[in-house]
Amino acid sequence: MIDKFSSIRTGSLSLIFAILLFTACQTKTPDGSGKGKPNILFLLADDLGYGELGSYGQEVIETPVLDRLATQGMRFTDFYAGNAVCSPSRAVLMTGKSSTRNTIRGNTGSFNDDRWLRVALTKDEITLGEMLQTAGYQTGFVGKWHLDDPNDLSTWAYKRGFDFAVQEQWSSRFGGLNFPVNKEGKMWYMNGLADSLFYENGKWSCMDEYRTKIAIDYLDTIRTNQPFFLFMSYRAPHAHERKIYDEELYADQGWPEKERIHAAKITLLDREIGKLLKKLEDMGKLDNTLIIFSSDNGPHGERTHNHEFFNSNGDLKGFKRDLYEGGIRVPLIVYWKGKIEAGVVSNRIAGFQDIMPTLAEVAGMPTPDQSDGISILPLLTGKPQNTHGSLSWEFQLDGWWQKLPEGGFRQSARIGNWKGVRYGVSSEIELYDLGNDISEEENIANKHPEIVEKMNQLFTKESHTPTDGFPYGGVVQDYLARDKHQK
């Protein structure tokens, strides 16, 4: 029983949003294919730092629901997001392909002589939704997608494996689809001054609260004889959340207003998750639901919020957009009653690419060939677990509003406790021993040239594959040729 679970929003760098509802026809699945399989609820926070939950060391921001979930399930200490910002990180999660092999390696890609555009997953990349549909699951998606071309509806969530999808939408910066104002229908074409809101009963409210309402309504429509996969892509504590539904939360703390609102977003997100879990309990489905919670990247430091005010990254170096630990190491909490031993803390190294093979094994189907992840289901259920030889990341920071040396190209890799970092394809590789230096303070590259060379091989050959729209690719001569052409 979980009366234990007690009982926000969106935004994006002054870009235009639309909140659109698509309820697609239910995809047909093989008769009986879902029988006996667990439900799956994936909960994703936006820009939540490694140290922003009580179960991960947070001392003042209250997160009782997630902390209790951690004590009842498994908590990971060495789990990694797909990348250091939203779109490329979510692409890893949705496809099981690591960031060095993924189609999307930044929030925008460069096409047609420096025209920066949103990059969509390709049609031949299987998504979590598509995979689980074939295993007999009803699939729902609510929240931030950001893996599409705004002008191509076939790239939106409801066409990429989700029977039911409610997604916010970036509009195109260069024309294309226009979304009408529709306040009466509670869906509004929003700009940077009023994003993250929905209109109901004569007032504006926050989007994460709205998302939870949509999800609860969706759960009332599912077929009881078929398992469901619900992906809840929340927006707290993203910097551009402007409205929260409890404006007085933490008002007695004396914190700067920006910091108070930041803390409130996290606690209110925790409450929304509590509402969802209570709904599952009331439906009698909680005991047969695998619940996974994580964040898309490290903590942000945007709109005057100071990520160090609440020690949001714990002892980790860096934050959002960094490939140091603070930018990519994130919380992972997994709960499954009767399957996962309560209170286990794992230091197993794993990442977003491992979610696809894990859910494939849970659903009793083969992992799509595209994935380079490893199922962690054996670990979750107390069985022997395979390990990664290495994990690698690459990230192109260039985008619509900035042009940086070498494309702002960043790379990092982890081999055991060794962590390599390179900011710029012509820069020296930094090396850290995470076993003794979790904060990445002492660069010991000059002491271990053989490990540095292993990192270099990962960065330039073994891990990296080229992809359209992200031209730097870790190869110095490619960058230099591009730079010469641009000049």
Are 376 and 416 contained in the same domain? no
- Which one of 380, 405, 430 terminates a domain? 380
Query: How far, in Å, CA of 376 to CA of 357, rounded?
Result: 8
Are 258 and 175 contained in the same domain? yes
- 249 is a domain residue: yes
Please name which of 30, 72, 114, 36 lies closest in space to residue 364, comparing C-alpha atoms: 36
Instruction: Give 401-433 as a DSSP string.
Output: TB--GGGGEEEEEEETTEEEEEESTTSPPEEEE
Length, in residues, of the chain: 487
The two structure tokens encoding residue 330: 């994130």
Instruction: List phi, psi (to 5°) of 34.
Output: -95, 0
Are 369 and 400 contained in the same domain? no
Residue 347 sits in a domain whose CATH number is 3.40.720.10
Q: CB-based contacts of 173: which residues, under 8 Å, 6+ apart? A: 15, 116, 117, 400
- Which one of 380, 411, 445 terminates a domain? 380
- 36 is a domain residue: yes
* pTM of the model as a whole: 0.89
Q: How does pLDDT run across 123-162, given as a tens digit for each residue? A: 999 999 999 999 999 999 998 899 988 778 889 898 999 9
The residue with greater pLDDT, 385 or 195, is 385
Q: How does pLDDT run across 43-85, given as a tens digit for each residue? A: 999 999 999 999 999 999 999 999 999 999 999 999 999 999 9
Are 99 and 244 contained in the same domain? yes
pLDDT above 90 covers what percent of the chain?
66
- 106 is a domain residue: yes
Least confident of 240-249, 283-292, 429-438: 240-249
- 155 is a domain residue: yes
Banded pLDDT at 200 (limits 50, 70, 90): low
R_g over Cα of the chain: 21
How confident is the prediction for the chain on average, in pLDDT?
A: 84
Parallel, antiparallel or unpaired: strands 39-45 and 289-295: parallel
480-485 LR contacts (CB < 8 Å, sep 24+): none
Domain that holds residue 438: 391-486
Are 125 and 272 contained in the same domain? yes
Number of domains in the chain: 2
Rounded average pLDDT over 367-371:
98
Least confident of 283-297, 414-428, 471-485: 471-485
Are 242 and 194 contained in the same domain? yes
Residue 174 has pLDDT above 70, yes or no: no
Please name which of 309, 216, 218 lies closest in space to residue 258, comparing C-alpha atoms: 309
- 368 is a domain residue: yes
pLDDT value of position 473: 54
Are 160 and 308 contained in the same domain? yes
Please name which of 243, 285, 284 lies closest in space to residue 265, comparing C-alpha atoms: 243
Are 314 and 279 contained in the same domain? yes
- 210 is a domain residue: yes
- 338 is a domain residue: yes
Are 191 and 126 contained in the same domain? yes
Are 396 and 345 contained in the same domain? no
Residue 483 has pLDDT above 60, yes or no: no
Are 125 and 154 contained in the same domain? yes
Query: How far, in Å, CA of 2 to CA of 17, rounded?
Result: 36
Rounded average pLDDT over 399-428:
87
Banded pLDDT at 17 (limits 50, 70, 90): very low
pLDDT value of position 72: 98
* DSSP, res 340: S
- Helix (H) or strand (E) holding 199, with range, is strand 197-200
- Which one of 380, 401, 425 terminates a domain? 380
pLDDT value of position 201: 63
- 6 is a domain residue: no
Are 260 and 398 contained in the same domain? no
Residue 466 sits in a domain whose CATH number is 3.30.1120.10
pLDDT value of position 169: 64
